[in-house]
Structure 1
Amino acid sequence: MNDAAPVWPVMSIAEAHARLTAPGAPFEIAEATIRGVPTRTWKNAPPTLRDVFLNGMRFKDREFLVHEDERATFDAFGRATLTLAHRLIADGVRKGDRVAVIMRNLPEWPVAFWAGQLAGAIVTPLNAWWTGAELEYGLADSGAKVAIVDDERLERLSAHLKSLPGLERVYVSRLRTAAGDDRCRRLEEVIGAVNDWGGLPELALPDVPLAPEDDATILYTSGTTGKPKGALGTHRNMTSNIGAGGISAARNFLRAGQPLPELDATKLPQRCTLLVIPMFHATGLSATLSPALNAGGKIVLMRKWEAEPAMRLIEREKVTATGGVPTIAWQLIEHPARAKYDLSSLVTVTYGGAPSAPELVRKIAETFPGSQPGNGWGMTETTATFTSHLGKDYEHRPDSAGPAAPVGEMQIRDPADGRTVLPAGAVGELWVKGPQVVKGYWNKPEATAETFVDGWLRTGDLARLDEEGFLFIIDRAKDMLIRGGENIYCVEVENVLYEHPDVMDAALIGIPHKTLGEEPAAVVHLRPGGRATEEELRELVRSRLAGFKVPVKIAFWPETLPRNANGKIMKSELKHAFPRETEAA
């Protein structure tokens, strides 16, 4: 009797990818010339987001969206989406116009997004956590013609609407009081309540020509100047994520020596995802919502993340996948009430967007037998997923973000010249290329030219690649930290701190946090005689920026902050201002 453990892996990453992408294979690769650059693409990916919508309509009677006591089938979702699309066209929305979506995770969010797509608009999701001033900037910068918002966002925006003359119409979901602006209309007047969508008329698709390289989205990412930049994405950018996510799971079967499972979504049990990260993020939209619609999956929404209500939903809806950031996984693992709930339906617990402890991989495997931990790397500029890491590959390399999808290319270049490609194992700046990489930044030609070069994206991340192509992120070259999946660009917070007359020097750094990955903390040096307090400075930031950007702690440095020969603050030395947090890490 042979008790030896099965050999793993039975084939290399390259061999697995070669089998999965060969002619006639499910993830076959073709080549397209995109903006003059030959680029590998998925041959079988949906050409546009309209095709993703039509693929979803194959599953008419399945439930698609669940939110509290609201439920919508694919058919009901389709009717609401087409109704709103025709209204947008009647409002004067034409191909290339911008339609902003600003709301928390509600069933109306994907209706608004796909209605804009079917009308030919460039749909512009804005961060629902932004302040009114930040939202005003996003609407003005994008030149949005129509905004579709919830009542909480309208309340935040109301004082700023007068500064947005180009915004012609605002549709408001779940409005509880009078809007106070003639441009505002209740969204329910167009599509009704969620549970009534199935009674809407069945309308034809709008007659709007769409192609893979047409502009589809503007997703905002914070910039090192402190002002967010709009990443202009195409339909191909969005739909490329569908193949990038699918091939990761298929690759694991081949590396384990197992036959490929059925890949036709119409022949598979429905996948159910508890989506607790915002749909305005590339991960929530491009890596989660769009693939679910394409393959007939169910999306369960929560108003806000809470571990025990989430476990209740996992049990009730037989959720097969959840995650988003390490916080969520840790809280599911460590919650004292976990044993009360049947979480056996969970197949995958994935996350990205924040540093995660290697021990989390082991904990997921121990706590949820039969499930696979997963993570990955991507940016708004790569429309989410660029590398993905799942199951045994992740367990064996828990400090890696995985290999790139085979349509993608990665290089580690010398940061000094941005051209010299470094060998495996060397640390340098990560550059990536592929059909996921967006066209550039909306109305920012200089930033575009600096970041997008001959089809390659300069990521600003310091990283290395091993011999098999697994990515290891070493540090962020850009001055940014990530709190539970939310990007915080340090200069944005520092600029607010400098507004206080007592502050002479300020720097924002990340301090370790077990579940969020890191949190923002500030170190400031006050002018002689300055009397600013920690709470006063935190309140100043809170009044200007979204809550997640407010420093959790502020330390006062007795002298000018340490700088190098070039005058740049040496933030590594400032960690000593928070010794307890540093030691705990």
Structure 2
Amino acid sequence: MLFKSLYPPTPPVPDKNVYELFFNDPEQNALPDYTLYVDAESGRQIRRSEFNERVRDAATALGAPLSAGGLGLSGEKGDIVGILSSNCIDYPTLVLGSLTITVPFALLSAYPTHFELVHLLRTSKSTVLFVHPTLLRNALKAAQEVGLSHDRIFILEGGIPGRKSLQDLIDDVKRRRTPREPVRPATKKTLAYLMFSSGTTGLPKAVMVAHGNIWSTIVSQLIAGAEDLKVSPLPPPTSPVVVLAVLPFYHTYGLISFCMRPMSGYVTCVIVPRWNVEVVVRAIEKHRIGLLLLVPSMVHQLVHSGLLEKADLSSVDLISTGGAYMPPKVAERIQKLIRSTPRVMEGYGLSECTLSALRKPAPGALGGIQPILNSTGILLPSMEAKLTREDGSCVEIGEPGELWLRGDNIALGYFNDENATKETFIDGWLRSGDRFKTDGKGTFFFVDRIKDTLKISGAQVSPTEIEDVLLAHPGKLISDTSVAGVSGGRTADELLPKAWVVLSEEGRRKGADVVLKELDMWANENLSSYKRLRGGLEVVSEIPKSPTGKVLRRVLQDRHEQALKAKVKAKL
């Protein structure tokens, strides 16, 4: 069965540089000048008019010939700008400057090990690298290993003696009065950037996102937002909406939300360089932030921090989450603690579809749709989807199946990885690697990642389902949990469900032994026999998660297997 979006369709994507969408919109340019970015730590600010000029200056510094003081970069020659930095004001400057001259950029995690950074540089084939000062030492070491000359490494924001920065490059072309580089032409298939994604298996792969993918994504968001406003009208804003910009800019959610989407809005982004609960709460109070864009792990830490009960959060009008599964209990808790927000807006997306595929509409939108608890929402404008079984056939209504997606936001494929591209991008469709089910009316429900699904006695067992059951214990004994498969099944490849849990305050009062017994009894009462926790339960201090909120089940599984091996050795 083919599912189509319930939203009005998006206009055809033009063969243009996405710069035209961001900077040549008459309505946007008619707005009064305003503060676009604020650094929450340093207090540095930049106004929209200043930022527009700085982007053109950065484009000139990057693209002008060497003889004119620029770096002479060209996408046609194969240049790629690597960005290795935590969030800062000049991150979007570099991103949009690169787009202006159609030189692709590669977004590198700001928290890599040496092995990971070498892989990212080698895979992206970055020809120049812009680095946050705190990451320079690691960058120099990794660059030497991949053969990237140290004179091709620059500082993104701030400065280090003896090494040029983006500011230095801009100052050079301005001092020379180098003519501004024109906006270079692009088609909708022109490569815009490389975004690293784990895909469904293996080491991170570089997703190729095109100018047309970005254009489609931004316009799709504008259309969906306009439909929400029809049922939740707001007076014309007299000042910008203040947005918390704490999601990492090197991740697709943070990149689009804070480096691109603001160009088509009326917002002030308060940049928090890295996640810190106390810093975030102070920023919300100080800057009167109205919109929180978060991932579930951030929401989880906020509700269990004990800080929200004492803070003035009355400015918050809306919370939006994505990037990972949001347990319903966590969503309910944040709404109780921040009562000024009418709802938590949830969605689903992945790097391979640029940003989002599904979102929850406002209550009553599109002829009366009501968001359903525990759903991920409906397809965004102009998107199509199907749910399939392992044999490729389409599932019945209510039956879980792999989500396949089609639309103008689907990326070009994986950079220099033909085999992975063929496995994931098939005849215009994107295989998500995630299982969903639908009610047949357009609403989708996340089930689990295919690679996390366990097969026991031939039946599929969803770790997410077991996690939800544990979190629903009426005694509120745990604040977080993760379920994954561990060895011990009847065959070598059969894994047994095991749960790792973080005790709540109530759980700590009762004690770990009591909590584990109660949770085991609760799971046995509420789960079919083959779904029970035959791999055991274990108390941990925290559930390991990536900076973007995805649970790192593999870390827990590896710890379990290592402990098992140590026991066997001790017995011998």
Query: TM-score when scaled to structure 1?
Result: 0.70
Tell me by how many angstroms 1:177 deviates. 5.0
Q: 3-state DSSP class of the match of 2:195?
A: strand
Alignment match, 1:72: 46
Aligned-partner Cα distance in 1 for 2:222–2:501: 32
Alignment match, 1:386: 357
Deviates more, 1:371-380 or 1:136-145: 136-145
Alignment match, 2:470: none
Alignment match, 2:169: 190
2:202 aligned partner, one-letter code:
G
Aligned-partner Cα distance in 2 for 1:293–1:51: 8
Q: 3-state DSSP class of the match of 1:212?
A: coil
Do 1:57 and 1:78's aligned partners in 2 also have CA atoms closer than 8 Å? no
Alignment match, 1:5: none
Q: 3-state DSSP class of the match of 2:555?
A: coil
Say which of 270, 294, 310 aligns to 1:324. 294
Alignment match, 2:277: 307
1:407 aligned partner, one-letter code:
S
Do 1:93 and 1:145's aligned partners in 2 also have CA atoms closer than 8 Å? no
Do 1:441 and 1:447's aligned partners in 2 also have CA atoms closer than 8 Å? yes
User: Are residues 306 and 292 of structure 1, via their aligned partners in 2, closer, same or farther at CA, if it must alter by over 3 Å?
Assistant: same
Tell me by how many angstroms 1:58 deviates. 5.4
Aligned-partner Cα distance in 2 for 1:299–1:470: 31
Q: 3-state DSSP class of the match of 1:280?
A: coil
Alignment match, 1:131: 113
Give per-residue Cα distances to partners, 1:192-249, cap 9 Å, x unaligned: 7xxxxx9999974524112322111110112555322111011121132223333444
Q: 3-state DSSP class of the match of 1:77?
A: helix
Q: How large is the RMSD of aligned CA atoms in angstroms?
A: 4.1
Q: Does structure 1 residue 361 correspond to structure 2 residue 341?
A: no
Alignment match, 2:445: 472
Aligned-partner Cα distance in 2 for 1:202–1:508: 63
Say which of 312, 316, 321 aligns to 1:346. 316
Give per-residue Cα distances to partners, 1:321-350, cap 9 Å, x unaligned: 113212333344444343543322211111
Alignment match, 2:559: 554
Do 2:376 and 2:443's aligned partners in 1 also have CA atoms closer than 8 Å? yes
Tell me by how many angstroms 1:550 deviates. 8.5
Tell me, which stretches of 5 or more residues in structure 2 are unaligned? 64-69, 454-462, 465-481, 488-493, 505-545, 566-572
Alignment match, 2:422: 449
Tell me by how many angstroms 1:61 deviates. 2.5
1:188 aligned partner, one-letter code:
Q
Tell me by how many angstroms 1:294 deviates. 1.8
User: Are residues 46 and 247 of structure 1, via their aligned partners in 2, closer, same or farther at CA, if it must alter by over 3 Å?
Assistant: farther
Q: Does structure 1 residue 404 correspond to structure 2 residue 408?
A: no
User: Are residues 86 and 60 of structure 1, via their aligned partners in 2, closer, same or farther at CA, if it must alter by over 3 Å?
Assistant: farther
The within-5 A match list for 1:8-27 is 17=7, 21=8
Aligned-partner Cα distance in 1 for 2:554–2:395: 38
2:34 aligned partner, one-letter code:
R
1:172 aligned partner, one-letter code:
I
User: Are residues 223 and 59 of structure 1, via their aligned partners in 2, closer, same or farther at CA, if it must alter by over 3 Å?
Assistant: same
1:61 aligned partner, one-letter code:
D
Tell me by how many angstroms 1:53 deviates. 3.9
1:147 aligned partner, one-letter code:
L
User: Are residues 392 and 188 of structure 1, via their aligned partners in 2, closer, same or farther at CA, if it must alter by over 3 Å?
Assistant: same
Tell me by how many angstroms 1:559 deviates. 7.4
Tell me by how many angstroms 1:190 deviates. 2.6
User: Are residues 98 and 47 of structure 1, via their aligned partners in 2, closer, same or farther at CA, if it must alter by over 3 Å?
Assistant: closer
Aligned-partner Cα distance in 2 for 1:61–1:282: 28
Do 1:122 and 1:217's aligned partners in 2 also have CA atoms closer than 8 Å? yes
Aligned-partner Cα distance in 2 for 1:94–1:340: 52
User: Are residues 163 and 65 of structure 1, via their aligned partners in 2, closer, same or farther at CA, if it must alter by over 3 Å?
Assistant: same
User: Are residues 508 and 186 of structure 1, via their aligned partners in 2, closer, same or farther at CA, if it must alter by over 3 Å?
Assistant: farther
User: Are residues 138 and 408 of structure 1, via their aligned partners in 2, closer, same or farther at CA, if it must alter by over 3 Å?
Assistant: same
User: Are residues 454 and 237 of structure 1, via their aligned partners in 2, closer, same or farther at CA, if it must alter by over 3 Å?
Assistant: same
Give per-residue Cα distances to partners, 1:229-279, cap 9 Å, x unaligned: 11101112113222333344444455xxx37557x8xx6641221011101
Aligned-partner Cα distance in 1 for 2:115–2:394: 42
Give per-residue Cα distances to partners, 1:67-101, cap 9 Å, x unaligned: 12111111222222222211111312113421111
Tell me, which stretches of 5 or more residues in structure 1 are unaligned? 1-12, 22-27, 32-40, 193-197, 483-487, 495-504, 516-541, 561-585
Tell me by how many angstroms 1:379 deviates. 0.7
Aligned-partner Cα distance in 2 for 1:285–1:169: 24
Alignment match, 1:285: 255
Do 1:140 and 1:164's aligned partners in 2 also have CA atoms closer than 8 Å? yes
The within-5 A match list for 1:115-514 is 115-165=97-147, 169-174=152-157, 177=160, 184-191=163-170, 204=180, 206-223=182-199, 226-254=202-230, 258=231, 261=234, 269-371=239-341, 372-392=343-363, 396-416=371-391, 418=392, 420-479=393-452, 511=500
How many residues are paired up? 467
Aligned-partner Cα distance in 1 for 2:265–2:206: 29
1:216 aligned partner, one-letter code:
A
User: Are residues 66 and 226 of structure 1, via their aligned partners in 2, closer, same or farther at CA, if it must alter by over 3 Å?
Assistant: same
User: Are residues 558 and 123 of structure 1, via their aligned partners in 2, closer, same or farther at CA, if it must alter by over 3 Å?
Assistant: closer
User: Are residues 403 and 462 of structure 1, via their aligned partners in 2, closer, same or farther at CA, if it must alter by over 3 Å?
Assistant: same
Aligned-partner Cα distance in 2 for 1:155–1:550: 29
Aligned-partner Cα distance in 1 for 2:385–2:107: 28
Do 2:74 and 2:102's aligned partners in 1 also have CA atoms closer than 8 Å? yes
Aligned-partner Cα distance in 2 for 1:175–1:507: 51
Aligned-partner Cα distance in 1 for 2:371–2:337: 18
Query: TM-score when scaled to structure 2?
Result: 0.71
Q: 3-state DSSP class of the match of 1:464?
A: strand
Q: 3-state DSSP class of the match of 1:116?
A: helix
Aligned-partner Cα distance in 2 for 1:298–1:102: 24
Deviates more, 1:271-280 or 1:289-298: 289-298
Tell me by how many angstroms 1:454 deviates. 1.4
User: Are residues 427 and 98 of structure 1, via their aligned partners in 2, closer, same or farther at CA, if it must alter by over 3 Å?
Assistant: same
1:551 aligned partner, one-letter code:
V
User: Are residues 421 and 47 of structure 1, via their aligned partners in 2, closer, same or farther at CA, if it must alter by over 3 Å?
Assistant: farther
User: Are residues 118 and 337 of structure 1, via their aligned partners in 2, closer, same or farther at CA, if it must alter by over 3 Å?
Assistant: same
Deviates more, 1:100-109 or 1:297-306: 297-306
Do 1:378 and 1:385's aligned partners in 2 also have CA atoms closer than 8 Å? yes
Do 2:5 and 2:381's aligned partners in 1 also have CA atoms closer than 8 Å? no
